[in-house]
Structure formats: C-alpha cells, structure tokens
C-alpha cells in the first residue's frame, strides 16, 4: 500500500529573503532548463536511446540552482551522486555534451563511456556523477583537503541523499572534515524516500541537519523547494567553510516527482502526495508567480523563454541522437593499466 504523506513546511527562517528581479529571472531560466532537459531525457529513455540507469532531477531543481548561485563558479568544486544532470547544466556544461553522454556518443562529456551516472568536467570543477551510494562524500571531503593543502580558497560542495546519509563512510568523512577544519559543505538532498523507502522507515533520526552534532558540525534544515531559501542558507554555509571554520551541513527538504530512476514506478507513495507537491510547492512555479506578480515579465515573455529553452533541449537531443558512437579504440583510453 502506498504511504500517504502530506507536504510539510520546512524549518526555516520565518521570512524568505528577497531576490532581485535579475536573480529571479536567472533562477527561473536555470530551473526551467533542468526541468525540460530531464523531461526530454525521460522521453529518450522510453524510446530506448538511453541505456542503463537514468535518475531524473525533476522537482529538486531549486537545490542545485540556489547553491550554485551562492558559490563561485569555476572556483568552488561540486560533486554528487547519480542524479547529476541538473548539477552539470547549472554549472555551465554544454547540454549537448550532457545529453550525448546519456546516449553513449563520442561527443559526450566522458566520450560516451560513462553514461548517466559517470560524468565530470575538471574545467568546470564538477567531479561527478558517482554511481556508488555515498562515495561522493569521502571524495568531496578529499576535494576540500586539496583546497586547504593548496590554499586556493575554494569550497567543496558535496551533495548526497537521505539514503546515502546512513552510510558509514559519510561519518568517517564528517570526522575528518571537522578534525582538519576542511572547507566543505555537505548538502543532504532529502527527497523523503531514498530509493523507495520513506525516511521514517529507514532512519532512526529523521532530522538530517543534526547528523553532524557528535562531530560538532553545525547544520540547518532548509526549504529546498524555494530557491531563495536555498541561496540564503548556501551563502552562510559557504562563507562559514571558506573562512576557515570547517564543514557545514545543509539538509535540503525537497521532493522528486518521478521515481528513484526511470525503472521505478514509485508505487510506494500516493498520486495525491505527488500532486500536492506539484500544485503547492513547485520551485519553478513559485518563481514564475513572483515574476508575474511583480510585473517584471509578461506571459508572452515567459513563453519566449520557454521557447528558447525548448530549442536548446531539442538541439541537445538531436545532437545526442545523430552523433556517432565512440570508436572501439576508446576502450583503451582514460584507464590505468598495472604493469
């Protein structure tokens, strides 16, 4: 039987910080790009053009958008798990390269060899796309260690889910990060179900912002469906880490509209629950409503943005469909062979 739940208000500051009109417009475009890209990826998966696993970010767009807006692009490092397409798009990676990697083509970010779960860009300081649950937390801590060792002033942003939050290596990483005061922000994207099990059934304590308490790591819960709240909290957390105060935990209370992956029918939750989030909490619609209410933009302007975004996604899909597959010789590149 599907578990019935209601959308709850996140424990956040009573008054949401205000965005400038430019910030709202930027956030709207970024989140809409993620949404339309992921919808297209889902269609292509259904057509058999994308193989393996495919985890969509639909519903969670405000998290990576707000955090990236608060970070220093090109300087701060980001690393996440396998729900990674949105992270790359917001960080400025070419949508054609992202989609081509999904379809396994030579123009993909990993030359078509990594697929949905294994993409990265050293140029943009995006380090995956990691398929092993929780592995990115220790790697993200390592990125923070490198930052402190080199003294480059960068911060590592390590994203992981509520399911991964129960992994042992996460707490080993917390301990090391605090012990060495590493510049890392641990972002827990709590979408309430991990793979298909609700947090109430899988976690003894469901306030994940307190998971660092025994290591003296500060943390806070954030309304991850409101990009303004995400940005505001991320600003504080990143400043905390960048100024030598060590790690910080942000629990983003968010929600995914699709199943864990494209192969998940998500029968463990009710349709009413998903509909409630879509109608009352959707991160994109919140921004759209603010823009219209403020008179910043008209419906025609919004339609123009929508048309432009769809054109970008269509171009990416066409490229990813027609680009050649990698040559067989690529099997021998980018690997380490023991002598």
pLDDT at 263: 85
Tell me the pLDDT band of 7, cut-offs 50, 70 and 90. Answer: very low
Q: Quick one: pLDDT at residue 170?
A: 97
pLDDT digits (tens, 9 = 90+) for 44-99: 999 999 998 899 999 999 999 999 999 999 999 999 999 999 999 999 999 999 99
Confidence of residue 153 (pLDDT cuts 50, 70, 90): very high
For the CA atoms of 211, 213, 215, 217, the dihedral, rounded to the nearest 10 degrees, stands at 90
> What percentage of residues in the chain have a pLDDT greater than 70?
95
Helices marked H in 187-282: 199-202, 227-240, 271-281
pLDDT of residue 86: 96
Q: In what order do the strands lie in the sheet with 248-253?
A: 126-129, 77-80, 156-161, 184-190, 248-253, 219-223
Task: Let me know: does 157 contact 67? Beta carbons within 8 Å.
Answer: yes
Alpha helix positions (H), 162-242: 168-179, 199-202, 227-240
pLDDT of 194 over the 70 cut: yes
Which bin fits 279, alpha (ψ -120 to 50), beta or left (φ > 0)? Answer: alpha
Lowest mean pLDDT among 105-114, 260-269, 273-282: 260-269
**What is the token pair recorded at 170?**
């996460």
Rama region for 186: left / alpha / beta (φ>0; ψ in -120 to 50; rest): beta
Q: State how beta strands 126-129 and 156-161 pair.
A: unpaired
Long-range contact set of residues 206-210: C-beta below 8 Å, sequence gap at least 24: 207/251, 208/162, 208/165, 208/249, 208/251, 209/249, 209/250, 209/251
Report how far residue 214's alpha carbon sits from residue 142's, in angstroms, rounded to the nearest whole number.
21
Interatomic CA distance for residues 229 and 140, integer angstroms: 23
What pLDDT digit, counting tens, does each position of 35-46 carry? 999 999 999 999
Helix (H/G/I), strand (E/B), else coil: 248 = strand
The alpha carbon of 209 is separated from its chain's Cα centroid by a whole number of angstroms, namely 17
Say what the pLDDT of residue 339 is.
64
Region 298-304: mean pLDDT is 96
In angstroms, the CA 127 to CA 57 distance is 18
């Amino acid at each position: 039987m599907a578990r019935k739940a209601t959308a709850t208000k996140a424990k956040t500051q009573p008054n949401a910080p205000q965005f400038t009109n430019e910030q709202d417009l930027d956030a709207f475009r970024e989140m809409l790009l993620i949404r339309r890209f992921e919808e297209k990826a889902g269609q292509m998966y259904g057509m058999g053009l994308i193989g393996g696993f495919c985890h969509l970010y639909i519903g969670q767009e405000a998290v990576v958008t707000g955090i990236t807006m608060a970070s220093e692009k090109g300087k701060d490092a980001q690393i996440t798990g396998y729900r990674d397409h949105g992270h790359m798009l917001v960080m400025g990676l070419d949508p054609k390269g992202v989609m081509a990697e999904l379809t396994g083509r030579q123009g993909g970010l990993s030359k078509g060899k990594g697929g949905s779960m294994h993409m990265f860009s050293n140029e943009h300081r995006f380090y995956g796309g990691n398929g092993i649950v929780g592995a990115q937390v220790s790697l993200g801590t390592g990125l923070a260690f490198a930052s402190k060792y080199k003294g480059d002033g960068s911060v590592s942003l390590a994203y992981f889910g509520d399911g991964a939050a129960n992994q042992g290596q996460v707490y080993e990483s917390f301990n090391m990060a605090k012990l060495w005061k590493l510049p890392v922000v641990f972002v827990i994207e709590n979408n309430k179900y991990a793979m298909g099990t609700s947090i109430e059934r899988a976690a003894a304590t469901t306030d994940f912002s307190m998971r660092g308490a025994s290591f003296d790591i500060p943390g806070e819960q954030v309304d991850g469906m409101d990009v303004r709240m995400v940005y505001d909290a991320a600003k504080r957390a990143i400043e905390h880490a960048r100024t030598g105060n060590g790690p910080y935990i942000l629990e983003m209370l968010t929600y995914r509209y699709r199943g864990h992956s494209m192969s998940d029918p998500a029968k463990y939750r009710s349709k009413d629950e998903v509909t409630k989030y879509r109608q009352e909490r959707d991160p994109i619609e919140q921004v759209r409503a603010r823009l219209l209410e403020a008179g910043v933009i008209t419906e025609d302007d919004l339609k123009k943005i929508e048309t432009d975004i769809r054109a970008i996604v269509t171009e990416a899909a066409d490229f990813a469909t027609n680009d050649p597959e990698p040559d067989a010789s690529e099997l021998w590149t980018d690997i380490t062979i023991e002598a």
